[in-house]
Structure 1
Amino acid sequence: MIFFDEIRHKIESSAFFSNMGKADLQADNVILFSDLESLLLSELDFIWLPTSPTQDDPFYTKQTLPKALIEQRIKITRCVMDSVKNIPCTPFKYDAHDFNIAAKNAISYAFRQYLSEKYFSLGDNWENIVNIYYQGYWPIGIYHNKVITI
């Protein structure tokens, strides 16, 4: 429960998506784009990170979740959604495309999977993605073990 509370407190104090467009994210495992337009116009053939709870995890096989973990995942989703509900939609739009809902669903998916990843000691894929979110960026996909980020 201590781990869950730490995550919840960190979510509440984070400024998600606040650094999109800034080129100061330095990480070996990241390919950084300046905005949605530059990403969508690139020829990079990446895999989008999931935006729906029904999508498969791109890193791990599906686990049978115990009731306590299910409850924590629900709580973390509410916490994340509360944290991002008032974020402006503009950075998530390009032309007629609006990725606002997808971005907010993706961050929820990432935090749910992060809880499961730690619960089952699976690795650090979702932890790395969550850390990018904590830094104010939008991790949008994966490409050859690198995280595509705006």
Structure 2
Amino acid sequence: MNIDSLIFKIAEANWFSAVGAFGCKKGMQSITSLAAWDSDIFSGNLNTSDAIIAAQMDWLPSSKDQVDPFYGNLLIEKWGEVKLNFENNIMEIYRKTLHSLRMANNSKLTSGPHNYFEVAKGSALYCSRMAAIEIAIDHPSIWNELINLYIEGYWPCGLLPNGDVVVY
């Protein structure tokens, strides 16, 4: 994928339209609902798999200043080497993502008393920026894989201790 194709895909994204319906993929685990996060105590009718994942999962970053759980500072350091040539592209990706997210349906991102739309939106923005940086340094990898999941309507929302990505 290149920057132009990423911009096109983001403009056509079906943000959060397929949440809860993710199947299986190597290195990824799905959750069927956000109910496991409704309270501090899991209810008896909660899907066992979702409860186990909720107990172990760390949320993926949702703000620019959070540390990349896959690369740490490495991606940003590499980005610093090519920043002048691609800075406008990264800002364009961010603006396009923000604009495209305005059309997202947030009705599937509410569970119990919690509305997860803002954190999901922040995560999508973080992911799109990191995917663009991967492209800029000519190393498309995990963030590009995750942005494709967002574009398909899923929410890659967490990371398990074994490295599996949790997808809602």
Could you tell me the TM-score, scaled by structure 1's length? 0.87
Show the counterpart of 1:130: 147
List gaps (5 residues or longer) in structure 2. 43-50
Instruction: Using the TM superposition, give the Cα deviation of residue 7 of structure 1 relative to its aligned residue in structure 2, in angstroms.
Output: 0.8
Partner of 2:104: 87
Counterpart for residue 37 of structure 1: 35
More helix by share: 2
In the TM superposition, residue 38 of structure 1 has moved relative to its aligned partner by: 4.0
Is 1:141–1:149's contact at 8 Å kept on the other side of the alignment?
Answer: yes
4+ runs of 1 displaced by more than 6 Å? none
Alignment-derived partner of residue 46 in structure 2: none
Note the C-alpha offset of 1:145: 2.1
Q: Is the Cα contact below 8 Å between 2:17 and 2:105 reproduced in 1?
A: no
The number of aligned residues is: 148
1:70 CA displacement: 2.4
Q: 1:17 maps to what in 2?
A: 16
Q: Distance in 2 between matches of 1:139 and 1:49?
A: 8
Equivalent residues of 2:16, 2:106 under 8 A apart = no
- Asked if the contact 1:129/1:147 (under 8 Å) is kept, the reply is no
Q: CA deviation at 1:123?
A: 5.5
What runs of 5+ residues in structure 1 fail to find an aligned partner?
none
Q: Which of 77, 89, 110 is matched with 2:94 structurally?
A: 77
State the shift of 1:39 in Å: 6.1
SS at match of 1:54: coil
Question: CA RMSD, aligned part only?
Answer: 2.0
Structure with higher Rg: it is 2
CA contact (8 A) 1:36 1:91 kept: no
The one-letter code of the counterpart of 2:35 is E
Whichever residue aligns with residue 83 of structure 2, its letter is P
* Distance in 1 between residues matched to 2:147 and 2:37, nearest whole Å: 20
Stretch of structure 1 that moved more, 56-65 or 132-141 = 56-65
Q: Tell me how far apart the structure 1 counterparts of residues 140 and 19 of structure 2 sit (CA, whole Å).
A: 26
Range 125-134 or range 101-110, more displaced: 125-134
Are 1:35 and 1:91, in contact at CA under 8 Å, matched by a contact in 2? no
Q: Normalized against structure 2, the TM-score is what?
A: 0.78
Render the CA deviation track for 1:12-31: whole Å, top value 9, x for unaligned: 122121111224x3311211
Q: Which residue of 2 aligns with 1:146?
A: 164
Q: Which residue of 1 aligns with 2:67?
A: 56
SS of 1:129's partner is: helix
Letter of the aligned partner of 2:29 in structure 1? I
